[in-house]
A and B are shown apart, each in its own frame.
Chain A
Amino acid sequence: MNASPRSSVAEARPSWPWALLAPGLLWLLLWFVAPLASLVPMSLSEPRDRFSLAVNFTGRLDNYAEVIGQYAPILLRSLQIAGSASLIALLIAYPLACWISFRGGRFKGLLLGLVVVPFFTSYLVRTIALTTLLADQGPVLSLVRALGLDGGLESIGLLSDGRLLNTAAAVVIGLAYNMLPYLVLPLVVSLESIEPQWLEAAADLHAGGFSTFYRVIWPLSLPGLSAGVVLSLIPGLGDVVNAQFLGGPNDRMIGNAISNLVLVQGQAPKAAALALLLMTLMTGAVLAQVRRHGSRELTAS
Chain B
Amino acid sequence: MSRIAARLLTLWAGLAYGLLFAPIVVIVLFSFNLPSGRFNLIWQGFTLENWLHPFRDRALTDAFLTSLSLALAASLIATVLGGLMAIGLSRSQGRAHGAIELLLVLPLTSPEIVLAASLLNLFVQINLPRGFGTLVLAHSLFCLSFAALTMKARLGGVDWSLEAAAQDLGATPLRTFGQITLPLLAPGLLAAFLLSFSLSLDDYIISAFTAGQVIVFPLYIAGAFQREISPQIHVMATMVLLVSIGLLGLGLGSKDGE
A contact residues vs B (CB 8 Å cutoff): 1-2, 5-10, 16-21, 23-25, 27-28, 31-36, 38-39, 42, 53, 92-93, 95-96, 98-100, 102-103, 109-110, 113-115, 117-118, 120-126, 128-133, 135, 137, 177, 180, 199, 209, 212, 234-235, 237-238, 240-241, 244-245, 254-255, 258-259, 262-263, 268, 271-272, 275-276, 278-279, 282-283, 286, 295, 298-299
Q: Is B23 an interface residue (CB 8 A)?
A: yes
B20 touches A180 (CB 8 A): yes
Given known pairs A28-B104, A35-B115, A120-B198, the reply for A209 and B160 (CB within 8 Å) is no
Contact with A along B19-48 (1 / 0, CB 8 A): 111111011001000000000011000000
Given known pairs A133-B23, A234-B109, the reply for A113 and B248 (CB within 8 Å) is yes
Most buried by A among B22, B23, B26, B221: B23
Q: Which residue of B lies closest to A140 (CB)?
A: B22
Q: Which residue of A lies closest to B124 (CB)?
A: A53
**A67 smallest CB distance to B (angstroms):** 13
Q: Is B245 an interface residue (CB 8 A)?
A: yes
B113 touches A275 (CB 8 A): yes
Closest 7 pairs between A and B when the two form their complex, measured CB to CB: A238-B111, A20-B88, A35-B118, A120-B244, A17-B92, A129-B23, A24-B85
Of the residues A6, A35, A262, contact of B160 by C-beta under 8 Å: A6
A17 touches B20 (CB 8 A): no
Task: List B contacts of A115 (CB < 8 A).
Answer: 20
Q: Which residue of B lies closest to A237 (CB)?
A: B111
B218 touches A21 (CB 8 A): no
**How many Å lie between the Cα of A103 and that of B163 in the bound state?**
41
Task: List A contacts of B238 (CB < 8 A).
Answer: 121
18 contacting pairs across A/B (C-beta < 8 A): A9-B163, A17-B89, A17-B92, A21-B92, A32-B115, A33-B103, A35-B121, A96-B13, A96-B16, A102-B1, A125-B234, A128-B225, A268-B124, A272-B117, A275-B117, A279-B111, A283-B110, A286-B109
**How many Å lie between the Cα of A291 and that of B21 in the bound state?**
36
A262 touches B117 (CB 8 A): yes
B20 touches A25 (CB 8 A): no
A20 touches B113 (CB 8 A): no
B106 touches A24 (CB 8 A): no
**How many Å lie between the Cα of A249 and that of B80 in the bound state?**
43
Task: List B contacts of A276 (CB < 8 A).
Answer: 114
**A130 smallest CB distance to B (angstroms):** 6
Of the residues B13, B90, B229, B245, contact of A120 by C-beta under 8 Å: B245
Task: List B contacts of A255 (CB < 8 A).
Answer: 111-113, 205
B24 touches A240 (CB 8 A): no
Besides A27-B144, A36-B118, 11 other CB < 8 A contacts? Answer: A17-B89, A21-B88, A42-B121, A99-B9, A117-B24, A117-B244, A118-B24, A212-B1, A234-B111, A245-B222, A263-B208
Residue tally, chain B, CB below 8 Å to A: 94
Task: List B contacts of A20 (CB < 8 A).
Answer: 84-85, 87-88, 91
A31 touches B138 (CB 8 A): yes
Of the residues A27, A32, A34, A93, contact of B16 by C-beta under 8 Å: A93
Q: Is B70 an interface residue (CB 8 A)?
A: no
Task: List A contacts of B116 (CB < 8 A).
Answer: 259
**A194 smallest CB distance to B (angstroms):** 13
Q: Is B252 an interface residue (CB 8 A)?
A: yes
Q: Which residue of A lies closest to B118 (CB)?
A: A35
Task: List B contacts of A109 (CB < 8 A).
Answer: 252
Task: List B contacts of A96 (CB < 8 A).
Answer: 12-13, 16-17
